[in-house]
Amino acid sequence: MTTDLQLTAADGFAFPAYVAHPTGRPLGAIVVLQEIFGVNAHIRAVVNSYAAQGYVAIAPATFHRVLAGVNLGYAPDDISAGVALKASVEALPTPGVMRDIAAAVAYAGQFGKVGVVGYCWGGLLVWRAACMLGGIDAAVPYYGGGMTAPAEVARSPLCPVLAHFGEQDHAIPLDGVRVFKTAQPAVQVEIYPAQHGFHCDHRGAFHPAAALLATQRTLAFFETHLR
């Protein structure tokens, strides 16, 4: 069963989220954090895939504080629009969108242990959530843009983290990934022969073998920490 619902952050801000429920008793819950393209068809498909694995899955609209109803594709104009929206959200006063993620985590918590997973900008938000928010039992960022910046490398996660990177990702140079891995020995870092966005089958960078292996590792990681 899928539905759209409204969540309310600690400051009273209301925002939408897409939710999918599994058949039968949930094994736990997964918060899915979007790319720079909104809660679009791909992110909804990811949410549905986690529900098919037995989890309640929820994708909060993390652009809603700056623009409602964002649903972009992957053409050059969409990328430009997404980059601008990301910059607007990143410019919000602290704690910005972390309040919305915290509300999604709190909602998810009623169904058991909570994992967070995110892609691209969502991967960066997953890393920050893992280091800043309570109520998270496991976190999996995929090619989180900005995760290898010094300020992010200096953070300390509060829960187990599995991080996926592509060795051909021009947005996240491999040297930076190696620095991150050295600085974060408790984080399980996996590197794939793929580009940025390799998990998304709507993008030209989609790498089926890397996406499958990363998914298998992610599901095993969540099974270990959420059940």
**pLDDT 10s digits, 17-62:** 999 999 999 999 999 999 999 999 999 999 999 999 999 999 999 9
- Is the CB of residue 127 less than 8 Å from the CB of residue 199? no
- Cα angle 96, 100, 103 (rounded to 5 degrees) comes to 140
Question: Following DSSP, what letter does each residue of 122-158 receive, concatenated?
Answer: HHHHHHHHHHH-SS-SEEEEES-TTTTSHHHHT---S
Instruction: Quote the pLDDT of residue 1.
Output: 85
Q: Which of 156, 215, 153, 226 is nearest to 190 (CA)?
A: 215
Residue 189 gets which letter from DSSP? Answer: E
How, if at all, do strands 14-20 and 56-60 pair? antiparallel
172 lies in which domain range? Answer: 2-226
What is the model's pLDDT at position 210? 98
Q: How many CB atoms lie within 10 A of CB 215?
A: 16
> What pLDDT shows up at residue 227?
86
β-strands 14-20, 2-8: how paired?
antiparallel
Backbone phi and psi for residue 83, each to the nearest 5 degrees, phi listed first: -60, -40
Mean pLDDT by groups of 10 residues along the chain of 227 residues: 94 98 96 98 98 98 98 96 97 96 98 98 98 98 96 97 97 96 98 97 94 98 96
Answer whether 0.95 is exceeded by the pTM. yes
Displacement of CA 84 from its chain's centroid (Å): 19
Give the pLDDT confidence score for residue 2 in this predicted structure.
Answer: 83
CA angle 164-168-173, nearest 5°? 80
CATH number of the domain residue 92 falls in: 3.40.50.1820
Number of separate domains in the chain: 1
Name the one residue in this structure whose structure tokens are 């429920």: 21
